[in-house]
Amino acid sequence: YCICEQEGQLKPISVKVEDPTGAGDAFVAGFVHQLCQSNLQELNQPTKVKEIVRYACAVASLTTTKLGAMVGQPTAEDVEKFLAVHQ
């Protein structure tokens, strides 16, 4: 990822994929959700940027675990639980 002046890479979160439909859209939704929860000054903090991207990756990963783009959309609670397990 490359956001503002923060760059890095994350290891993918391994899941059993049922259907990849909507994963990219889900990533963007998770990313925007996290941006809305943050202030722009936080984008200068490497750990905050990494958290935002990790959250977006988790949303995308969870979306692929169910058949169909809409059915697979996780709630914020689902994502938090998933991230807690996949540290």
Q: Are 64 and 15 in contact (CB under 8 A)?
A: yes
Q: Is residue 70 included in any domain, yes or no?
A: yes
Rounded CA-CA distance 35/13 in Å is 21
Residue 76 has pLDDT above 90, yes or no: yes
Give 18's pLDDT tier (boundaries 50, 70, 90): very high
How many domains does the chain divide into? 1
Average pLDDT of the residues in 42-51: 93
CB-based contacts of 58, cutoff 8 Å, min separation 6: 13, 30, 74, 79, 82, 83, 86
8 Å CB contact between 27 and 59: yes
E-assigned strand segments in 1-87: 2-3, 6-7
What residues make up the domain containing 33?
28-87
Residue 44 maps to a domain:
yes
Residue 46 inside a domain? The answer is yes
**19 domain residue, yes or no:** no
Region 60-83 average pLDDT: 93
Pairwise CA distance, residues 63 & 20, whole Å: 7
3-state secondary structure at position 3: strand
